[in-house]
């Protein structure tokens, strides 16, 4: 009859204990994938073919910020008010010059300035 290797037994016991720890954690029942607060020194976002981006939402699940890659493969930051109307844009235009755009609370254009000379 084969003998049980002590290392294999220890790995099995520790693996089982780890499963019980994960099942018993407070966030173990959280099915929306929310990790809570995360503190890091740097984040790298890579384009997976759909653009790399960060989006922020308010408590009403309305988008308030977009930071990422646009259709022309340029980077930009865009803010929105609580009604999801665009309020500011800082990024590149189609000619790849820097541009700043400010809108009023209804999303109407108020100010636009290009970095092109």
Residue predicted with more confidence, 78 or 22: 78
Domain that holds residue 66: 34-114
Question: Is residue 28, in this structure, part of any structural domain at all?
Answer: no
Question: Is residue 10, in this structure, part of any structural domain at all?
Answer: no
Q: What is the CATH number of the domain that holds 103?
A: 3.90.930.1
Handedness of CA 19, 23, 24, 28 (dihedral sign): positive
The domain total for the chain is: 1
Question: Is residue 50, in this structure, part of any structural domain at all?
Answer: yes
Question: Is residue 19, in this structure, part of any structural domain at all?
Answer: no
pLDDT band at 4 (very low <50, low <70, confident <90, very high): low
How much of the chain, in percent, has pLDDT values that exceed 90?
39
Question: Is residue 12, in this structure, part of any structural domain at all?
Answer: no
The C-alpha angle with vertex 51 and arms to 45 and 98, in degrees rounded to 5, equals 90
Q: What is the pTM of this model?
A: 0.63
pLDDT band at 29 (very low <50, low <70, confident <90, very high): low
Q: How far apart are CA 29 and CA 4, in angstroms?
A: 35
Question: Is residue 58, in this structure, part of any structural domain at all?
Answer: yes
């Amino acid at each position: 009859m084969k003998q049980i290797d002590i290392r294999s037994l220890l790995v099995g016991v520790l693996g089982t204990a780890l499963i019980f720890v994960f099942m018993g954690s407070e966030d173990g029942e959280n099915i929306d994938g929310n990790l809570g607060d995360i503190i890091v020194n740097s984040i790298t976002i890579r384009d997976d073919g759909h653009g790399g981006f960060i989006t922020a939402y308010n408590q009403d699940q309305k988008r308030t910020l977009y930071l990422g890659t646009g259709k022309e493969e340029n980077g930009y930051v865009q803010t929105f008010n609580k009604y999801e109307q665009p309020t500011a844009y800082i990024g590149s235009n189609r000619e790849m010059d820097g541009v700043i755009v400010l809108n009023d609370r209804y999303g109407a254009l108020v100010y636009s300035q290009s970095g092109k000379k």
